[in-house]
Amino acid sequence: MKPRPPTLREKRRYLLVRIAPPSNVVEPRELYLAILEALSSLHGDTTVAKVQMAVVKATGEYAIVRCTRGWEALVTGAMSTVTAVNGNRVALRTLAVSGTILALQKRMAGSGGGGPERTCDLMYREKWYQAYYYSGEKVDLIEKGFKSQELLFLTTEDLEEL
Amino acid sequence: MSLTDACVHPFPAGDSSIRRMALEARQLGLSGLVAIDTPPGIVEGMKVTRGVIIAATQVKEVLSTLRKVPRADTLVMVNATDPGFVRAVIGLKSVHILRHVHKAEKYAFDHVAARMAADHGVAVDFDLRPVVYYRGVPRQKVLQRYRDVLTLHHRYEFPLTISTNSRSILDMRGPRELRALSALFDMDEVVFDGIAPAVDRLLSPGNPVRVIG
C-alpha cells in the first residue's frame, strides 16, 4: 500500500523513558502492557484509542514510547503510575519529549550507559546481597535467594559507615 | 523550577538511604526533601528538612507529641481524621501541614477549616502515593477529594504542599511527573508553580502585617 503523504499523516511525539532500577531487564511487550494498563485505568478506553501509545524500543535502562501529538503529558502521568512490570518493581522516568526518534537516540548516547561498573557479593545486616555499583556512588543491593528478595538502595558512603 | 517533596521515609522505614534519596531527587530535578525523623542538613547538595508525622485521634495526643518535637527547624505534619479534630489541630501554633485529607471523613476539611488554614498558614498536603498505587473506585475518591480541596484553595488561598510519601527511590517522582499527576485532579500550572516555595515559607513565615500611618 502506498504510504500517506506527510500532510495526511498523524503527528507523533516520542518520549525518552529511563527505567529504574537499571538491574531490571524489561521486555518491550511487558512494558507496553504495563503502560497500557495504567493509561486505560486512568483515562479509559476512549482516550487510549486517541493516544495510540506504543513502545518503540526498550533496551537496557532506556525506552522510547510513542504517542499522538498533544497527549504527551497524559502519557507521562500514566507512566508515573506504573509501579511494576511483570511483577518486578520499577519506576518510569520521563526524560525528554521529541518529534523524532533520532533526537532521543542522540540524547541516550550522550547520557552514557546505565550498566553497573562492578558487581560483588556482600553481607549487610546479616544477610547476603548481590551488590551493583553504579557511577555516582550509587549501590543497589539485591538479596540472594529465590523468594521475596529484599532490595536496598544505598550509596558507597552508606556502606563505608558500616 | 524548584520543588520540594514534602514527605519521604528514608531507611530504615523505607528501603533507600537518605543519601541515595537525595541523589535521586537531584537527578529528578527536585530542590529539596522533607525526610521523616531524619536530621536536617545538606545531603549530596540537596536541602533536607526534618519532618515529624503525628497520627493521633485526640488533640491531647497531638499536644503531648508536640512537646517532644526536637527543634524549631522541624516540619510538623498531622493526619486529618474528623472535622472537630481538623479544626482544633489547624489552630495549634506548631502544626505546619495537614495531611491525609483523602483518608479523613468526607467533609473533615470544610470551608471553615480552609479559612482557618489560610489564617494560620497551615498547609494541606497532596499525597500522591494513593494516586499512583490505587486503582478504580478508591483512586476516584482520592481524586475527587483533592479536587474539592483545590476548590477551597481557590477561594481561601491556604498553602499547599505536594508529596510522594516515598519509602523507596522507585516511588519518587520528578517535577514533570508530579505536574502530570496533579493535572489529574485539575491542578493548573499557576497553582502548581505556587507550591514550590511553600515548605520554606512554612518554616519561616513572614512577620504579621503592620499598619503604618
Is the confidence at residue B127, as pLDDT, over 80? yes
Residue of A nearest to B182 (CA): A77
Separation CA B56–CA B123 (nearest Å): 18
A18, A75, A81, best to mutate vs chain B, most B CBs in 10 Å: A81
- Please give the pLDDT value at position B15: 92
Cα–Cα distance for residue pair B50/A160, rounded to 1 Å? 24
Question: What pLDDT score was predicted for residue B206?
Answer: 64
Write down the pLDDT at residue A146. Answer: 75
Instruction: Tell me what pLDDT residue B210 has.
Output: 56
- Residue in A71, A72, A149, A155 to test binding to B, most B beta-carbons within 10 Å: A155
C-alpha cell read off for A157: 558512603
CB contact under 8 A, A83 and B132: yes
B29 shares contact with chain A (CB less than 8 Å): no
Q: At A112, is the secondary structure helix, strand, or coil?
A: coil
Contact B17 A154 (CB under 8 A): yes
pLDDT tens for A35-51 read 999 999 999 999 999 99
Residues of B in contact with A20 (CB under 8 A): 169-170
CB half-sphere exposure, A124, CA atoms < 13 A: 23
Q: pLDDT-derived band of residue A114, with 50, 70 and 90 as boundaries?
A: low
Phi, psi for residue A123 in degrees, rounded to 5: -100, 130
Question: How many CA atoms within 13 Å lie on the side-chain side of B88?
Answer: 15
Between CA A48 and CA A46 the distance in angstroms is 5
Distance in angstroms (rounded) separating the CA atoms of residues A38 and A81: 6
Helix intervals (H) in A14-94: 28-51, 72-79
Contact B201, B160 (CB under 8 A): no
Is residue A155's pLDDT more than 90? yes
What value, to the nearest 5°, has the Cα angle with vertex A31 and ends A25 and A33? Answer: 145
Residue from B9, B17, B129 to probe the interface with A (highest A Cβ count within 10 Å): B17
Shortest distance between the Cα of A2 and any Cα of chain B, in A, equals: 38
- Closest chain B residue to the Cα of A77, Cα to Cα: B180
CB contact under 8 A, A77 and B177: yes
CB contact under 8 A, B132 and A150: no
Please provide the average confidence, as pLDDT, over all residues in chain B. 91
Name the CA radius of gyration of chain A, rounded.
19
B134 to chain A, any CB pair closer than 8 A? The answer is no
Contact A83 B133 (CB under 8 A): yes
Residue B93 has pLDDT above 90, yes or no: no
Distance of CA A128 to the CA centre of its chain: 27
